Homo-oligomer: A and B are copies of this chain.
Amino acid sequence: MPPSRADRPPRRVGEFDLIERLRRLIPAAGAGVRTGIGDDAAVVSLPRGALVTCDVQVEGVHFRRGTSAPGDIGWRALAVNVSDIASMGGAPRYALVSVLLPPGVPLRDVEAMYRGIGQAARAHGVIVVGGNISRTSGPLALDVTVLGEAGRVLTRGGARPGDGVWVTGTLGNAAAGLFLAHRPRVRVRGARALLRAYRRPSPRVRAGRALAARSAVTAAIDISDGTARDLAHVLDASGVGAVVHLERVPVAPAVVAAAQAAHLDPYVWALGGGEDYELLFTARPEFETSARAVARVAGVPVTRIGEIVPRRAGRWIVGPAGRRTPLRPAGWDHLVTRSP
A96 in the interface (beta carbon within 8 A): yes
Q: Is A90 an interface residue (CB 8 A)?
A: yes
- A227 located at the interface, meaning its Cβ lies under 8 Å from any Cβ of chain B in the complex: no
0/1 string, A45-57, CB within 8 A of B gives 1? 1111111111110
On whether the beta carbons of B49 and A41 are closer than 8 Å, the reply is: no
When all copies of this chain in the complex are counted, the total is 2
For A85, the closest partner residue in chain B by CB is: B41
- Any B CB within 8 A of the CB of A138: yes
Residues of B within 8 A of A49 (CB): 34, 43-45
User: Which residue of B has the minimal Cβ distance to A55?
Assistant: B132
Contacts of A44 in B (CB 8 A): 49-50, 52
Asked if A84 is at the interface (CB within 8 A of a chain B CB), the reply is: yes
Please give the number of chain A residues whose Cβ is less than 8 angstroms from any Cβ of chain B in the complex. 60
CB distance from A126 to the nearest CB of B (A): 13
In the complex, the answer to whether A153 meets B40 with C-beta atoms within 8 Å is no
- For chain A residues 52-100, which have a beta carbon within 8 Å of chain B? 52-56, 58, 60-62, 83-85, 87-88, 90, 94, 96, 98, 100
Q: List 23 A-B contacts (CB under 8 A).
A: A34-B153, A39-B88, A39-B155, A39-B237, A40-B84, A40-B156, A41-B53, A41-B84, A41-B85, A41-B87, A41-B88, A41-B148, A42-B52, A52-B94, A52-B129, A52-B147, A54-B96, A54-B98, A56-B143, A61-B135, A137-B139, A138-B141, A143-B143
Which residues of A are in contact with B by a Cβ distance under 8 Å? Answer: 34-35, 38-56, 58, 60-62, 83-85, 87-88, 90, 94, 96, 98, 100, 102, 129-132, 134-139, 141, 143, 145-148, 150, 153, 155-157, 221-222, 237
